[in-house]
Amino acid sequence: MVNSLIMMIVFFIGVLLLLSLQPKTTMMTLGMKMRRAKSAQESLAEFIKTKKNRWGIKQYYIFSEENVRSLGHRFVGRFDSAILHWEDSPVLDAIIEYKFPVKHIPKIARPEDVFQSGLYALALLESGVSCSSAKLVTIYCPQEIAMSCLDRKSTRDCWRCGSASVKVTRFKPKSVLKKLQRLDEVWYNGRVPNPTQEPHNCRVCPYSNGRCNYSLI
Amino acid sequence: MTLSDAEKGSFHRMREVSELRVQYQCEYRLYLKQKLGDVHSKASSIGLNLHNHVSKKDATQHVEKKDNLILLLIVIMTLIAGYLWIFG
């Protein structure tokens, strides 16, 4: 009786584990996707236009340093990494950006970093990639620690390095578009560019040291 | 990461994500960048080198996976447990 109960529990745990490893279930965490993803052997453009067979559908792929462009919003860029898989169409799971601050790791993801990742996701959305469950991942690691971590001959990913901080945000296309429209006014409607009101933006600005009249530091 | 004109190809007149990021931080900073030219701090150069290092590592690390073996073990364990539960 006890043995039967144990076997039943093991069976259900096994079923749950197998379900959690399926891309179509929502049980798989982002960390699991990042660990399971394998390097894509094709370019991102080829991946997007080539429908995968049954086996390919169950696989997550990681793309590194791929160019993306938005014809609708007239911008181009290159993301650090992105994880995608195929369902009925290509699906973006995450855009991953690495940031190496000199010292301090922010408590929450910096708005400009989230905006940057959002622009990459927006470009992919325009290319026909489903982004309904996409996450924007920003990995912060202080420069000194990142250097020592990467110099080690370990096979650990940068994001698993002890002092790295992983910030995850949901991709919200409307929010990115709203911010982009505000910036477009300067590019296309002749609005005068406004200086920032945030001192911390001046601290990292290379022009704040005597070259900018509006510096707050 | 900044793209060269060659990398942008026929889209060389388009804006760059890095420019939009700078503009989002401070619109006037982008104006100064366009007017005075780009300025790189030591920290930004180190950051760029680290980016390149991470990209190379990323490209080689995700090839070999042990997940298939783990998946197979889970399937076998589940089947045995299911068999013993029902017929045991």
Structural domain spans, chain A: 30-191
pLDDT digits (tens, 9 = 90+) for A135-162: 999 999 888 888 887 776 554 556 666 6
Average pLDDT over residues B20-49: 90
Confidence class of residue B49 from pLDDT cuts 50, 70 and 90?
A: confident
B6 to chain A, any CB pair closer than 8 A? The answer is no
Are A62 and A40 within 8 A, CB to CB?
Answer: yes
Looking at A37-82, list the stretches that DSSP marks H as alpha helix, in order from N- to C-terminal side. Answer: 44-49, 54-57
Model pLDDT for residues A181-201, shown as the tens digit of each residue = 999 999 999 999 999 999 989
Please, where are the H alpha helices in chain A?
2-20, 30-36, 44-49, 54-57, 111-126, 143-151, 173-188, 199-203
Rounded to a whole number of angstroms, the distance from the CA of A89 to the nearest CA of chain B is 23
Q: How confident is the model at residue B10 (pLDDT cuts 50, 70, 90)?
A: low
Query: Mutual orientation of helices B17-25 and B27-36 as an angle, nearest 10°?
Result: 120
Question: pTM score, two decimals?
Answer: 0.81
Measured between its terminal Cα atoms, the distance across chain B in Å is 61
Give the length of chain B: 88
Residue B12, pLDDT > 90, answer no
Nearest to A93 by CA among A123, A64, A131: A131
Question: Mutation test of the interface with chain B: which of A11, A137, A214, choosing the one with the most B Cβ atoms within 10 A?
Answer: A11
Question: How are beta strands A135-140 and A38-39 bridged, if at all?
Answer: unpaired
B34 to chain A, minimum CA–CA distance in Å?
12
B45 and chain A in contact, CB less than 8 A: no
pLDDT-based confidence at B63, cuts 50/70/90?
Answer: very low
The string of DSSP letters for chain B reads -PPPHHHHGGGTTSEEHHHHHHHHH-HHHHHHHHHH-----HHHHHHHHHHHHHHHHHHHHTS--SHHHHHHHHHHHHHHHHHHHHH-
Nearest in space to A119 (alpha carbons), one of A91, A167, A82, A87: A82
Residues of A in contact with B14 (CB under 8 A): 69, 74-76
Comparing CA positions, the residue from A120, A59, A50 lying closest to residue A85 is: A59
Residue B78 near chain A (CB below 8 Å) = yes
Confidence band for A88, pLDDT divided at 50, 70 and 90 = confident
Which of A18, A115, A214 is nearest residue B24 as measured by Cβ atoms? A115
CA B52 → CA A79, A178, B62, distances in Å?
12, 32, 16
- Judge: B54–A119 Cβ closer than 8 Å, yes or no: no
Residues of chain A contacting residue B44, judged by C-beta atoms under 8 Å apart: 206
> CB A158 to CB B32 under 8 A?
no
Distance CA A159, CA A33 (A): 13
Give burial (CB, 10 Å; 0-12/13-18/19+) of A119: buried
Chain B residues touching residue A193 (CB < 8 angstroms): 23, 27-28, 30-31
Residue A208 DSSP one-character state: T
pLDDT of B64 strictly over 50: no
